[in-house]
Amino acid sequence: DYQWNKSAKAQQYIEGTGWFLLKNWDKWKVLAGQYTSNGLAIGESDNLATYALASTEANLLNQIEVAKRKAKGERIDNLEGSATQVEVMSQGFMGRYFRSTSGGYWVSEDNIGAQQWGWMGTAMYLDRLNLNFETKSFSIQPK
């Protein structure tokens, strides 16, 4: 909701919870597929959805920070984002994308959920996902 409507409630939520996954990445360089409500990792398996969410949150947190700095009239020299944002996207998320003779795929070729999360996460990270709330549809905007 923050990405499309700049909702204050969505911004508060992202700022309040978005750092959780990023701090875990900074500490462990891996994210669990699930966490308990008190922040403990469940099992050792990772999940592409977690990386899709973390990379999108990192991007949104960067957008929020840039907007705050602009509102204060501060000069913004670096718009590439934080080192954590770049790491989560390049190592955690894109590190699970593979190429084969038949094309590219996320995690494993037969994992449909991973393909959906992979492409949706990519579109959200690149701010190319358009949602139409009236028709309950979405499209990916070309560059």
Read off the tokens for 28: 């462990």
- Angle, nearest 10°, between helix axes 8-28 and 48-71? 120
**pLDDT in single tens digits along all 143 residues of the chain:** 777 778 899 899 888 888 899 999 999 999 998 899 998 999 777 788 888 888 888 888 888 888 888 899 988 766 556 778 888 888 988 999 999 898 899 998 899 999 999 988 888 888 787 777 677 666 777 76
**Phi/psi at 106 (nearest 5 deg)?**
-100, 130
What is the pTM assigned to this prediction? 0.79
Q: Which residues lie below 8 Å from residue 118, measured CB to CB, with a gap of 6+?
A: 48, 52, 96, 97, 106, 107
CA–CA distance, 28 with 93 (Å, rounded to integer): 15
What is the residue whose two structure tokens read 């597929």?
A: 33
